[in-house]
Amino acid sequence: MRPRRRRTDLPSRYRVLFAGPVGAGKTTAIRALSDAPPVDTDVPMTLTRGDGKTTTTVGLDFGTWRPAPGVTVALIGIPGQQRFAAARQRAAVAGTRVLLWLRADSDTLVADAAEWLGVFAGEEHRVAIAISHDAGRPLREIRRTLADVLQHHGIPLTRVLLADARDRDDVMRAVSVALDLPEEKS
């Protein structure tokens, strides 16, 4: 009888990219979930926005989460501001899952979704969506608001969930949805 092969091919390193518009909560979420203090490039803003946000990411944010022994998830945040978009390139290497952060209270929620899903066009199978700043709005209603743009990109409504970026359990749940996505198109 042949010896049973050991399953040594299970991946032990994952990457999740935190993407989305300014103030959606990417840096906050990485700080909430990372096991060690993240290395981030969040710096004072030159122009304040009047919503209390005083810092912005200009390069990349890096954190790490160890959900189980021997498993490491790299958490990589990219800048929301278009003028720092150069930092986004190279962050989304093959196999990286994308967690797109959007703000429910934004007047431009649908346009933000369309813009950012456009950034990942052709890679939608790797994208999950976390909605922050929900202010008590039901998920059902937010999903309905986004239904057309999600359908356009072939993203099922079940891949959209509410997450307060300040809440570690919420961020963990959102990252877990992103980790469940396949690396490759099936």
Ligand X SMILES: Nc1nc2c(ncn2[C@@H]2O[C@H](COP(=O)(O)OP(=O)(O)OP(=O)(O)O)[C@@H](O)[C@H]2O)c(=O)[nH]1
Binding at 144: pick from ligand X, Mg ion, none (beta carbon under 5-8 Å per type): none
The footprint of Mg ion on residues 29-58 (CB under 5 A) is 57
Decide if 103 contacts 24 (C-beta within 8 A): yes
Hey, is 64 helix, strand or coil? strand
Q: Which of 14, 19, 23, 27 binds Mg ion (CB under 5 A)?
A: 27
Q: Nearest distance from residue 91's CB to ligand X, in Å?
A: 13
Stretch binding Mg ion (CB under 5 A), from 10-18, 23-31, 131-139, 146-154: 23-31
Q: Does 34 bind ligand X (CB under 6 A)?
A: no
Q: Is there binding between residue 28 and Mg ion (CB under 5 A)? A: no
24 binds ligand X (CB under 6 A): yes
Question: Pairing relation of β-strands 42-44 and 55-57?
Answer: antiparallel
Binding of ligand X at residue 26 (CB under 6 A)?
Answer: yes
Angle (nearest 5°) at CA 68 between 66 and 72:
35
Distance CA 171, CA 30 (A): 8
Residue type, 97: R
Give the chain's length: 186
- Please give the residue ranges that form the binding site for ligand X (CB under 6 A): 22-28, 42, 53, 55-57, 79-81, 101, 132-133, 164-166
